[in-house]
Amino acid sequence: MPTDPHATPDAADDGWFPESVAASSDASSDDEFDPAVVERTVDVLADLAGDGAALELAVGTGRLAAPLALRGVPVHGIELSRAMAARVADKPGGDLVEVTIGDMTSARVPGEFAVAYLVFNTIGNVTTQDGQVDCFRTAAAHLRPGGYFVVEVGVPPLRRMPPGQDTVPFTVAPDAAGGGYVGFDRLDVVTQRFTSNHVTVGPDGSGRFRWLPFRYVWPAELDLMARLAGMRLVHRWEGWDRTPFTADSERHVSVWQLAAV
């Protein structure tokens, strides 16, 4: 993991997602928090769950788990950050969600699940290949025969980088008051590590810098991780509307199925 004086988490128990981050996580302007996107995502997950239960790896504040539970799907979540998990019950349906505090690379919870899912690029928060493989093994250990594992993650933006460039901006958003926000990724194509950098500037010129370490992973690499865990690819879409994945897709929603006994 890279070292930087700005990068030390401000709460050791919650790593990169302490109270200071959890407090504003549900106020995000990301498309993923749009109610229409949430509903479409929950539609897919409920369809895959059928008459079974769902397990969310890195459940966060319950953005998806709570509305999925309202659909009548029993939901259990695994979450490393206590600050994030503490907000699940505040959402409609959140009181129906069981949450286990633990690391999604190794945690085990009781029960058997029809679908497990890991969304919104969170597989990249695991910054080693071995750790990402362990996420697939966690999912497989909890799925019933024939169950599904769903991962939503971006496609590495290497086609946007000419030789010698290692930084790709993803948001530049000035505001009318004279401040604004800039987001950019800095990638290391040798290690597949990158940092997601977030710079917020106030109208008085004051600023806040925060960055998160990630490991990017290719679709084909994920397929191999799935095979190591006894699963095979059954769907790969560009998004939750099930649009076909193409060479120009910037992200994918992939579904693997555990072998039936």
Question: pLDDT (tens digit, 9 = 90+) per residue, 202-241?
Answer: 888 888 888 889 999 999 999 999 999 999 999 999 999 9
Distance of alpha carbon 250 from alpha carbon 112, whole angstroms: 33
pTM of the entire predicted model: 0.85
Q: What is the mean pLDDT of residues 51-69?
A: 97
pLDDT (tens digit per residue) in 80-99: 999 999 999 999 999 999 99
CATH number of the 12-156+217-258 domain: 3.40.50.150
Question: What's the pLDDT score for residue 194?
Answer: 87
* 136 close to 231: Cβ distance less than 8 angstroms: yes
Q: Which of 105-114, 163-172, 174-183, 187-196 has the highest mean pLDDT?
A: 105-114
On the 0-12 / 13-18 / 19+ scale of CB atoms within 10 A, 15 is middle
Q: Domain ranges for the chain, please list them.
A: 12-156+217-258, 158-214
Q: How confident is the model at residue 139 (pLDDT cuts 50, 70, 90)?
A: very high
Crossing angle, helix 219-228 and helix 129-142, to 10 degrees? 50
177 vs 5, more confident:
177
115 vs 160, more confident:
115
Domain 158-214 falls in which CATH fold? N-terminal domain of TfIIb (2.20.25)
Question: What's the pLDDT score for residue 205?
Answer: 82
